[in-house]
Chains A and B, each alone.
Chain A
Amino acid sequence: MNTPARPHIMTEHLTVHYGRQRVLQDISLAIPDRQITAIIGPSGCGKTTLLKSFNRLIELQENVRVSGKVLVDGENIFDPQIDVTRLRKKMGLLLQRPQVLPMSIFDNVAYGRRIHGCKNRRLLGEIVEKYLTMAGLWDEVRDRLHGPASQLSIGQQQRLCLARALAVEPEIILCDEPTSALDPASTQHIEQIFMELKKDYTIVIVTHILRQARRLADHVLFLYLGELVEHGPAHRIFDTPQQARTRDYILGIIS
C-alpha cells in the first residue's frame, strides 16, 4: 500500500479565481492511479472546484480565471491544443444529485457512445447491458430499459449515472459527494461498487463525510479555505495527521 503509485492526475501551482475571489490557492498534488482518492474539507473550501478543474468543467462558470497546470497522463489539460471532449471522455462524473438525461434508461447509458459516433444498435445493446450490470442496476431495470429514466428511485438514478459514465470507457471517475442525496442502503451499494471499480479505475471522490472517506479512501487530500493543507495515504492522514488543522478537522473541532 505504501509504494507510491504512478500519478494519474497532477496539479502544479493550480490557482482558481471566481471574479475577484480566490477559490483555490497554489495547489500542487498527485492523484495515484487506480486508487480511491478522497478530497475532504469543510464546505466551501474549494473541493468541488478542484474536482471540476480536472475535466475543465469549471470553465463553464462566468469570470473564472485559472493559473497553474493540471496534468492528466502527463499532458497539460489547459494546453490550447487539447481536445476538451476527448479529455472529458477520459473521466466519468457523478454529481451530488443524480442528473438523469430526459430520455429512456437505455438512451441514458448509450448517450455517451452515441455522441462519440457509435450507431451500431447491437453493440449499443451490449454496452448498455454490460455497464448497467457493472453499476449493479441491470437486474432491476432489464424489463423497462425503454421506460423514462426519471421514474427510477434516486439511488437507482445515481447508479444509472454511474453506468452512463462507465459506458464511455473512462479511466478516471470523478465524484462530487455522490451519496449525499441517497439513503443508507443506496450509499452502501454505491460504495461497494467503488471498491470493485478501483481495480480498473482511478477514483476521485469529494466527500464531507469523514467516515465515508475512512471506509473508501486509499489516499486523502485535505483542503481548507482553498489551500491544500495536507495529503497522503489515508491511514497516515487519519491516524497521524501532521498539521494541526487536519487534526482539528478530523476530530470535529473545525468544520
Chain B
Amino acid sequence: MTARTFKEVCAHSLMRTVAGFVISLAFLMAFGLYLRARPILVTKPLEELLFHTVWNPSQGQFGLANFIISTIWVTAIALIIAVPLSVFTAIYLSEYAPAKIRNIARPVVDLLAGISPVVYGVWGILAIVPIVRDYLMPFFSEHLPFFPFASDNYTGFCTLTAGIVLAVMTFPIIISVTEEVVSRVPFELREASLALGATKWQTIKLTVLKKARPGIIAAIILGVSRAFGETMAVLMVAGCAIQGFPRSIFDPAYPLPALIANTYGEMMSVPLYDAAVLLAAFILLLVTMLCNIAGWGILLRTERRGM
C-alpha cells in the first residue's frame, strides 16, 4: 500500500466514523431517554400517564394529560393563525410578486427563522401580552363569554399569547417550504391551464395548489413540529401554571417542553419524578421526529416524482 492510498483509506474511514457517530446520536438520544423513562413505564400503566390530569409528583401522581392538552392547544392555535397567513404569503411571493420583491422577501423570511427563540419570547411579553390582556381578553369575556373564550386569567400570559408567538415562529418554515414547492410546479402546467381560458386565480387554485398540495401539507407538518417542540418562547409567555384542565384560550398553558425546562433538575429526590419528566421528553422527541420524517418524506417523494 502506497502512502497515497493509505491516506485515502484513512480519510475515508475517519469521515465514515464521524458521520456514523453524529447520525447515531439521534438514535442514542431516543434510546437513552427511553431507558431513563422506563422506571415509570413499568410501574404505571401508559394510559394513566397519558390521560390522567393530576400532576402531583410528591403524591406519586404523574398524569401528563394537562401538559399534553396544553401542547396541542398551543400548537393548534399557532397553526390556525400561521397556516393561512404563511400559505397566502408564499403564494403571493411565488405567483404574484415581481422578482424584486421576491428577492428581498426571501432572505427576510429566512432571517426570521434564525432569530433566537428568547427574542421571540421577549417580543411576546412586550407586544403580545399587553394586547391580549388589554384588548382581546376583555373583548371576549364581555361579548363571547363561553367556550373556548371564557376565563378569569387577566394576566395576558396565556394559551393564545403562546399560540400567537409560536405562529410567528412557524411562519418561516411554512413560507419557505410552501414557496419552494409552489414555484417548483412546472411553468408549462400553468400555461396549459391559462391557455384553456382560466384566470390566474383559477389556475393557482385548481392546478398549481393541487399539484403542490403534498408539499404544502409537508410544510404544515414541519410547522407543527416546530411549534410542538418550541420551548423558550412558550415558557416566557404561556403562563406555565396549571389550573386544572385548560378550558379557554385565555387560560395559562403549560406545554410539555416548558414542563421539562422548568422542572428537570429540581426535586430529583421525589421518586419517579425524573422518569416522568424524561417520559415527557421522550414523547416530545418521538412526536417531533415523526413529524419531521413525515414532512421530509413527503417532500422527497414529490421531488422524486419530478414535480
Contacts and interface: CB of A to CB of B under 8 A. Distances in A.
B191 A88 contact: no
Given A95-B188, A97-B188, A115-B202, A102 B211 contact: yes
Contact of A164 (B186, B189, B196, B210): B196
Contact of A93 (B99, B192, B202, B207): B192
A13 to B, nearest CB: 25
B195 A85 contact: no
A60 interface: yes
Interface residues of B, number: 20
Contacts, number: 68
A168 B197 contact: yes
Interface string A94-113: 01110101110000000110
Given A60-B191, A95-B191, A103 B210 contact: yes
Contacts of B190: 60
B195 A93 contact: yes
Nearest to A61: B187
Interface string B176-194: 0000000000111111111
Interface string A69-106: 00000000000000001101101110111010111000
A57 interface: yes
A241 B190 CA distance: 38
A55 B195 contact: yes
A165 B198 CA distance: 12
B195 A91 contact: yes
Contact of A57 (B189, B191, B207, B210): B191
Given A101-B207, A102-B207, A102-B211, A115 B198 contact: yes
Q: Shortest 9 CB-CB distances between A and B: which pairs? A: A89-B197, A93-B195, A112-B196, A99-B192, A102-B211, A85-B197, A88-B197, A115-B198, A99-B188
